[in-house]
Structures are given as C-alpha cells and as structure tokens.
Amino acid sequence: MFLPRFLLIIYLFSATEFNQLLKLPVLVMHFQEHQQKNPSISFFQFIHHHYLVNHADDGDAERDNQLPFQSHDNCGSFQAPIYLFLTFSPLPPQVVILSKEKPSFYSDSHLLSAHLNSIWQPPQFV
C-alpha cells in the first residue's frame, strides 16, 4: 500500500497545483504580519483582502505574490508507465461462437421502392 500512495503524492505535487499547499506556512506568517499592523483584522478579512477583491497594493506586493494560489507555477507532467508485475500469467483462451446472421437494426420497410430506384437512374435531359 505504500507504493501507490507514494506515487500519488509525487504526481499531485509535481503535475498539479497541489504543490501550492506547501506555501501555507507563508500564508500564516503573512497573516501574523498583518495582525501586527492591525490587531483587529480577522483571518477572513485577511483572506477577503488578498484573494476575493482586487487587491490594492499595501506595500508588500512581493510578499503577497509568495502566498499560495497567487500565481500559477509552470507545472507539467511526464508520465511514463512503470510495470511492476512480478509474474505474468496469460488468461486462458475462450471460444466464442458467433451466429452466422449478423443482427441488423436498420429497416427500410418504410421506404417505397420507387424512391430507392429513382436515385440510381441516369441523368435525363428535358
């Protein structure tokens, strides 16, 4: 069970924006910096100020850009198949008998034969 979880974690941190969660300590520290400037600010006001409104520059734009989900990292993915089969046992062959008639769901019984034959007539000049 360890290997699938390990591979999932590697995939999430390398090929998705999941790696932004590694920046959560920066979010907490920046919130504490804002609380030192303004002790009455709540965490939700801080989130609203930095994420939900067009953020006005308050002199710490460089620090704001370090917050999670403020910028998109150039994350790409390279996926290579890894085969970890220890043994290979082929499936036993199965005999399948098909009927001679193929089932058809098309029915032209509603078409008049005159309409079908008129398509295949040579062009006529009047």
State the chain's mean pLDDT as an integer.
76
pLDDT tens-place string over residues 79-90: 666 666 566 677
Q: Which amino acid belongs to residue 75?
A: C
> How would you class 67 by CB atoms within 10 Å of its CB: exposed for 0-12, middle for 13-18, buried for 19 or more?
buried
Q: Is the pTM of this model over 0.95?
A: no
Q: How confident is the model at residue 58 (pLDDT cuts 50, 70, 90)?
A: confident
